[in-house]
Amino acid sequence: MLTRTNQKNKDELSILGFGCMRFPQKGTGIDEARSIAMIRSAIEQGVNYFDTAYFYHGGKSESLLGDALSGGYRERVKVATKLPPFMVSKLEGAKKIFDNQCTKLQTNYIDYYLLHMLTDKATLDRMISIGVMDWLEQLKKEGTIHNIGFSFHGGKADFEQIISAYPWDFCQIQYNYLDENNQATKSGLQLAASLGIPVIVMEPLRGGKLVNNLPDDVVKAFKSSDAKRTPAEWALRWIWNHPEVSVILSGMGDEQQLAENIAIASNATANSLSKEELDVFEKVKKIMLERTKVPCTACGYCMPCPHGVNIPGCFASYNDKYLLNTKNNRLNYMQTQGVMSKKPSYASLCTECGKCELHCPQNISIRKELKQVKKELEGPLFKPVVAVARKIMKVK
């Protein structure tokens, strides 16, 4: 297992991290015995970064990880878990969640603690205003938290604002060859690196979509290379080729996947892909571009929209619907457009002012395309459902 050094604190982190959101299932719940065995086997083979969250597996992921790390494993690894800001309206609420997390994880310290799914700076400001960041800093001084970070699924502009607004110890972004120009983007990754902030990468395989749902011509393009690799290996190596990346989190759901990922992580060094191999990705991206509904390059020239629409983000979700044979398009769209955040950014917020179209170098009929996004990814129940959910969660 290769490691990379966290330049902030000199932690030696395994380049493969274990994402604890896709444990093997038994019936309707987690297959506990298998999951614990997989976690311990991963540790024996050098994985030392485990990422969970308050609500993964309906709140059971942290407890499972706590059980797996009992009996001497806890001290051998770094545990990352997350505070969900959208469930926190008062500091007391955050403290309760944190205590509960430590109990479930059977630990009295968290190595890497993140604000979960921070999609806009307004949410960070709200966390600051109710005292959450001061409290986290106090916990850090006391040694109860070792690193403060955030995970991110929003757009590039918000990422740039958030990462520059606080002295983060680390951040976690979605990044893979299909998302080079989506969400935080490559320039966001480079910005984090230039600020000396380690980057943990999530969704390296887009939840398995870059493995199981690839168009045939993409599979063919990979096969045309002299390097014989599975689509998963291609995707992981592309990310590890970036020296700015510290750890890739993989939500490994079975023993075979664990074994494959560990084997790849034994020799995937930064800047190791050859020109021929990088050319394969160019071919793959070209094919994907041809299947793209809206030719948005995510350049961001149309932004900011005065009504808060994340124009490139909406188009990325829309394109995915046609590019990948996936089922969770609507859910992904809701998540990435921050429907539960203070500043949601979904397509139907568009008032058709037309300002954005003046700046689009691709001459995209943004208003017309956003109507399609609304039709296909929102539908008639979207607004009432979101309104009820926001009311329940007390999001203003």
Cβ-based neighbour number of residue 37 at 10 Å: 14
Q: Which of 65, 273, 284, 309 binds ligand SF4 (CB under 6 A)?
A: 309
Kindly give, in sequence order, each residue whose CB lies less than 8 Å from that of residue 118, ignoring residues fewer than 6 positions away: 85, 124, 150, 151, 152, 154, 162
Using alpha carbons, select from 381, 282, 386 the residue that is nearest to residue 334: 386
- 328-362 residues labelled b (16+ CB within 10 A) or e (exposed): ebeebbbbbbbbbbbebbbbbbbeeeeebbeebee
Q: Is 296 in the site for ligand SF4 (CB under 6 A)?
A: yes
Q: Is 297 in the site for ligand SF4 (CB under 6 A)?
A: yes
Token pair recorded at residue 81 = 């878990």
- In the complex, minimum distance from the CB of residue 37 to ligand SF4, in angstroms, rounded to a whole number: 46
Q: Of the listed pieces 71-79, 133-141, 294-302, 338-346, which binds ligand SF4 according to CB under 6 A? A: 294-302
Q: Which of 149, 253, 300, 313 binds ligand SF4 (CB under 6 A)?
A: 300
Q: Is 115 in the site for ligand SF4 (CB under 6 A)?
A: no
Using alpha carbons, select from 65, 154, 72, 150 the residue that is nearest to residue 116: 150
- In the complex, minimum distance from the CB of residue 388 to ligand SF4, in angstroms, rounded to a whole number: 25
**Count residues contacting ligand SF4 (CB under 6 A)?**
27
Dihedral sign from CA coordinates of 339, 344, 345, 351? positive
Q: Which of 105, 366 has the CB closer to ligand SF4?
A: 366
- Determine the residue type at 321: K
Site for ligand SF4 in 312-371 (CB under 6 A): 312, 350-356, 359-360, 362, 364, 366-367, 370
Q: Which of 302, 316, 339, 386 binds ligand SF4 (CB under 6 A)?
A: 302
Q: Which of 3, 181 has the CB closer to ligand SF4?
A: 181
- In the complex, minimum distance from the CB of residue 357 to ligand SF4, in angstroms, rounded to a whole number: 7
Q: Which of 130, 305 has the CB closer to ligand SF4?
A: 305
Q: Given the rule CB under 6 A, which residues bind ligand SF4? A: 296-302, 305-307, 309, 311-312, 350-356, 359-360, 362, 364, 366-367, 370
